[in-house]
Copies of this chain bind each other. A is one copy, B any other.
Amino acid sequence: MAFDDVVRLAQRRGFFFKSAESYPNSPAGFWDYGPLGLAVRSNVLELWRRLLVRRDGMLEIDGAQILPKSVLEASGHVQSFTDPYVKCAKCGSVYRPDKLLEEKTGKPVPEKLQDSEYDSLLAQAGVRCSKCGAPLTGTGRFNMMFRLGIGPLQEEAYLRPETCQSIFVDFPLLYKTQRVKLPFGVAQFGRSFRNEIAPRQGLLRLREINQAEIEVFFNPGKADAPRFAGTAGDLLTFQPPQGGPVTASVSDSVERGLVPNRLAGHYLALLLRFYEAAGLRRDALRLRVLPDEDRAFYSKAAYDLEARLSVGWLELVACNYRGDYDLSRHAAASGTGFDVDDDGTKVVPHVFELSMGIDRTVYALLESSMGGEGERTVLSLKPCIAPRKVGVFPLVNKDGLQEAAGELNAALQDRLDSFYDESGSIGKRYARADESGVPFCVTVDYDTLKDGTVTLRTRDTRAQERVKSDSVAERIVSETAFPPIRL
């Protein structure tokens, strides 16, 4: 399915809405989750908690989104979290010069150009303002953090550009209060904010982002994972900067230097298991190895987990071996000790990070599960990810069938996310359920009143079978359960 089909379905069924859509000229890059999208997101996060956070005994926190300037100076964002932009001198329209050049020439633009180099390339390529046709020059830098002022004195602060800064800043308190030993992970789901210059890709380029980040802290002298044996045999597929893809087991990847250490290999494997359990195919996932020039100077290794979608390979997760950069910077700037005792040695922990884009993840799951023939759309979301687990329908709206179906729905509610629907033909109700990703439907009919059986219909096979009404809950609970936590 194509990007536009997914967005149309998402808006029609209320997975997502463009934020403040009722208002003319509401700004780009902001989306609201409707009921179905929020339910999918919640299920994705529950799976993330089970297969990454709780499986590994990680700590989860939720930090404030507004951070003082001092924190973001220490992290380097105040100085260098910038994108190039060029403003039309005639009509005031704003563009990213790299994006304009890519569109005009069809070729990628090298990273880290100087402003004057952009101006030369824009002139060479003859790029002009798409609104008024004037030539474009005068590339400048725009800091992508949203700046705000605290209190009447307007103390300078920012919306966090990545959730991980809360984790780094809280590290000493977490270490002190949570009785943990290296290595351990800290996880956080929440918003981060990027004041994109001109976001145009709908859901895929947001100014307000849902991130689920994991920072694993470890002693660089022993970068091992206690449960390494559980993932050592998993296969990882890498796309190196040059040449074709390389597939190797986690242990082989460590030996061949494809990953910097066993700990990193272990978490990459867990991450891939998570995405497979969520519904993406292994053969549509790869770890793109970032070339040296695309990595931050402090990064010792970096991978983008990408999924193959209609829009091309889409980055879902940034995986980054950040060394001790963050903790050392915050230690120096705050004057607080960020070093810890690891079996008698003082060490500033190193960090391996899994930074997941949850909005893109939800998008990828929708696109990958969208199918059907002709007018019929089916969203074959994994049952554990599906926004609702079962719809309960009376065959007709009379003779007590509504009451019986309502009663069954109420009885299911404690254990399942079920809903009741009595409008339109049964066929139409099945079609709506298919399009919303609901894996099961139950129809209550005249036989139900006689013998207590109902029709259980399965989305993916379209099979209908007759089952005892009082066995439905158990059956659907087990078929829609999350996978076990144990490795």
Contacts and interface: CB of A to CB of B under 8 A. Distances in A.
| Number of copies of this chain that the complex holds | 2
A421 B94 CA distance: 57
Given A20-B67, A22-B336, A32 B151 contact: no
Contact of A196 (B87, B151, B330): B151
Contacts of A62: 32-33, 38, 41
A27 B157 contact: yes
A423 interface: yes
Interface in A31-46: 31-35, 38-39, 41
A240 interface: no
A222 B219 CA distance: 66
A437 to B, nearest CB: 15
Given A191-B191, A413-B486, A169 B61 contact: no
A426 interface: no
A461 interface: no
A484 to B, nearest CB: 5
A193 B66 contact: yes
Interface stretch (A128-136, A170-178, A304-312): A170-178
A113 interface: no
A197 B68 contact: no
Nearest to A338: B22
Interface residues of A, number: 87
Interface string A386-412: 000000000000000000000000100
A303 to B, nearest CB: 28
A118 to B, nearest CB: 15
B34 A177 contact: yes
Given A94-B153, A172-B22, A66 B30 contact: yes
Interface stretch (A9-17, A347-355, A438-446, A447-455): A9-17
Interface of A: 11-14, 17, 19-27, 29-35, 38-39, 41, 54-55, 57, 59-68, 70-71, 85, 87, 92, 94, 142, 146-153, 155, 157, 159, 166, 169-170, 172-174, 177-179, 191, 193, 195-198, 207-208, 330, 333-336, 410, 413-414, 417, 419, 421, 423, 484-486
22 contacts: A11-B177, A13-B177, A14-B174, A17-B173, A22-B169, A23-B71, A23-B334, A23-B336, A24-B335, A25-B70, A27-B155, A31-B64, A33-B61, A54-B413, A55-B413, A65-B65, A94-B153, A146-B149, A148-B148, A148-B159, A149-B195, A413-B486
Given A27-B151, A414-B485, 7 more contacts: A14-B178, A19-B67, A23-B70, A23-B71, A30-B66, A31-B64, A34-B173
